């Protein structure tokens, strides 16, 4: 029942963006920063762990300074490869350095309504609908919580969102919307219920957790605690830096990498100190700020460069990478969205980033568009095809066919052509029709994307959750809400 998943594998293209000595310098500079400038860890629990292991901890400022050797030793414990499990094992995702997978994005606050086209606030039903659509699309390998369920109470929103993902898709769930120890514990309980127990969950983690750092050189307290809860249960956890040139990082690209790198590897090291061997991942969505407003731009040459550079760093540390590659700053599915999402995805794919985020969001990951989701899937499809490169062998050199056609003529009726024509790419949304056909209808990618989304949403049925399981998830959510009331 569960559909197959498209990924990039065995690539024929590669990109060199940082030389080995560049990476070493960035790494040295990062260790220097962590050791002499420090990183802020605003969580008593995290500070305890650092102190226990001998790092210099300032309880007043909550800044930790850690010797480089401790960071390096901790990171060596991180497993270089592991699998993100799905409710359906056929949809498991091995993060082995030889796969590029795409997921949805998060966390938006508004939705371009599929029926009316109007912009409105996001709600739980959107989380459910998007997960169901993602379940139907082979380009989507894993589900993020794409928009905030703003009609759910703040203190239990994260777990309502998780349940919506699991009710509507069998694919792996990765959440960026759980940033308290409380909700993380509930999330682990829910995942364990679905996986068949805590040990089963540890062997097959159907949930992973991503947390954002607080640039420059800081973390968020609740996020640290949530990550530690996840790691204890064996869930893959990752930390994402969004340090951006000029505002939360230096204006120069290498310096911005250093700041982001210091945030991420210090957090990953903390997790490894607490739970040696815990599966962790590096995550990044660095960019240059908008020069006028200081805002996160979500596109542009710097964005594309960072999209590739981060994976070179994560390879150096031998951990998987999650890259915020899509996520355009465009306000609607237009030219800008096309450029930004294509170039960022291509760059991130050329270096084989393990997880790419996030189809479907506009305006710096704030507004969900079903049309954009489908259009982003087409972009990934194109990139997959490009990454398979060109094979040069006797069959592809096609000398027999060339001799048969000779000067003039064409290859249309050659046997060789019939045999290989289906290797060529077929667009779903790019318009290659004759001009008059377009002129008569004046329709295009956005319309076809919308239609496809509507069709899928009205006909596709995901594998439902076992009713007993669904009830158990409800019980866990209710317990979270009850505990909040009694606080």
Partner 1 sequence: MSEELFQVMAQSIVDGDVDLAKNLAEQAIGQDIDPLEAINRGFVVGVNYVGEQFARGDMFLPDLVLAGEAMKAAVAALEPEMARRGTERTMLGKVVLGTVQGDIHEIGKTLVGTMLSASGFQVYDLGVDVPTDKFVAKAREVGADIVGLSALLTTTMLRQKDVIEALARAGLRPKVKVMVGGAPVTASWAAEIGADGHSEDAIGAVGVAKNLVGA
Binding stretches for partner 1 (CB under 8 A) = 42, 107, 109-110, 121, 148, 150, 154-155, 157, 179, 214, 218, 220-221, 246-248, 251, 289, 291-296, 364, 366
Q: Rounded to the nearest whole angstrom, what is the least distance from the CB of residue 291 to partner 1 in the complex?
A: 4
Give whichever of 294 and 427 is closer to partner 1, judged by the CB atom: 294
* Helices 253-274 + 44-52 axis angle, to 10: 80
**139 vs 176, which CB is nearer to partner 1?**
176
Burial of 113 (0-12, 13-18, 19+ CB in 10 A): middle
CA distances from 27 to 107, 216, 261, 365 (A): 30, 17, 8, 30
| Minimum CB distance to partner 1 smaller for 7 or for 213 | 213
- Can you give the C-alpha Rg of the chain in angstroms? 23
Q: Taking every pair of C-alpha atoms in the chain, what is the biggest distance, in angstroms?
A: 85
- Name the one residue in this structure whose structure tokens are 């291509």: 346
Q: Which is nearer to partner 1, 178 or 351 (CB)?
A: 178
CB of 267 to partner 1, least distance (A): 15
Phi, psi (deg, nearest 5) at residue 419: -70, -30
Q: Which is nearer to partner 1, 181 or 364 (CB)?
A: 364
Shortest Å, Cβ 375 to partner 1: 24
Nearer residue to partner 1 within complex by CB, 16 or 151: 151
The least CB distance from residue 359 to partner 1, in Å, is: 20
Asked if residue 317 lies in contact with residue 325, where contact means CB atoms within 8 angstroms, the answer is no
Name the minimum Å distance from CB 238 to partner 1: 19
Strand partners, 210: 238
77 versus 331: smaller Cβ distance to partner 1: 331
Name the residue nearer to partner 1 (CB basis): 192 or 367: 367
Work out how close the CB of 114 gets to partner 1 at its nearest, in angstroms, rounded to a whole number. 19
Which phi-psi region, left, alpha or beta, contains residue 462 (left: φ > 0; alpha: ψ -120 to 50)? beta
Q: How far is the CB of 215 from partner 1 (least distance, A)?
A: 8
The gap from C-alpha 281 to its chain's centroid, in whole angstroms, comes to 11
Give the nearer residue to partner 1 in terms of CB position, either 218 or 230: 218
Question: What's the chain's length in residues?
Answer: 487
Given the complex with partner 1, which of 264 and 367 has the nearer CB atom? 367
Tell me the closest approach of the beta carbon of residue 219 to partner 1, in angstroms.
Answer: 9
Angstrom distance (rounded) from CA 182 to CA 186 = 7
Q: How far apart are CA 297 and CA 284, in angstroms?
A: 14
Least distance in Å: CB of 218 to partner 1? 8
Smallest separation (angstroms) from partner 1 to the CB of 151: 11
């Amino acid at each position: 029942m569960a559909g197959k998943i498209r990924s990039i594998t065995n690539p024929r293209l590669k990109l060199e963006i940082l030389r080995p000595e560049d990476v070493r310098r960035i790494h040295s500079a990062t260790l220097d920063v962590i050791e002499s400038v420090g990183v802020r860890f605003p969580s008593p629990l995290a500070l305890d762990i650092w102190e226990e292991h001998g790092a210099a901890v300032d309880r007043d400022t909550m800044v930790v300074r850690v010797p480089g050797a401790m960071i390096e030793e901790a990171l060596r414990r991180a497993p270089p490869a592991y699998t993100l499990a799905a409710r359906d094992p056929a949809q498991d995702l091995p993060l082995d350095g030889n796969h590029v997978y795409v997921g949805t994005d998060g966390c938006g606050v508004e939705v371009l309504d599929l029926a009316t086209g109007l912009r409105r606030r996001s709600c739980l039903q959107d989380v459910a609908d998007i997960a169901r659509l993602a379940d139907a699309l082979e380009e989507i390998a894993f589900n993020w919580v794409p928009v905030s369920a703003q009609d759910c109470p703040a203190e239990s929103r994260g777990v309502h969102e998780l349940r919506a993902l699991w009710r509507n898709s069998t694919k792996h769930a990765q959440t960026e919307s759980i940033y308290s120890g409380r909700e993380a514990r509930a999330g682990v309980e829910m995942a364990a219920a679905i996986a068949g127990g805590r040990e089963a969950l540890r062997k097959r983690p159907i949930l992973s957790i991503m947390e954002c750092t607080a640039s420059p050189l800081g973390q968020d307290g609740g996020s640290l605690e949530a990550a530690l809860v996840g790691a204890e249960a064996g869930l893959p956890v990752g930390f994402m830096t969004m340090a951006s040139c000029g505002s939360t990082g230096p204006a120069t690209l290498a310096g911005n990498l250093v700041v982001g790198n210091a945030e991420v590897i210090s957090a990953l090291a903390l997790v490894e100190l607490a739970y040696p061997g815990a599966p962790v991942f590096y995550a990044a969505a660095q960019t240059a700020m908008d020069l006028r407003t200081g805002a996160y731009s979500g596109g542009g040459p710097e964005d594309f460069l960072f999209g590739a550079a981060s994976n070179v760093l994560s390879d150096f540390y031998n951990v998987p990478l999650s890259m915020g590659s899509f996520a355009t700053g465009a306000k609607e599915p237009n030219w800008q969205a096309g450029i930004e999402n294509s170039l960022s995805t291509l760059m991130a794919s050329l270096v084989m980033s393990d997880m790419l985020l996030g189809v479907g969001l506009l305006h710096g990951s704030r507004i969900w568009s079903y049309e954009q989701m489908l259009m982003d899937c087409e972009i990934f499809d194109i990139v997959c095809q490009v990454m398979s490169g060109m094979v040069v062998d006797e069959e592809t050199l096609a000398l027999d066919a060339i001799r048969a056609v000779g000067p003039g003529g064409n290859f249309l009726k050659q046997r060789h052509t019939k045999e290989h024509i289906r290797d060529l790419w077929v667009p779903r949304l790019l318009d290659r029709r004759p001009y008059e056909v377009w002129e008569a209808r004046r329709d295009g990618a956005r319309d076809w994307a919308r239609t496809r989304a509507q069709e899928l949403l009205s006909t596709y049925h995901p594998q439902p959750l076992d009713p007993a399981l669904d009830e158990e998830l409800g019980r866990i959510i209710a317990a979270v809400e009850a505990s909040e009331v009694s606080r």
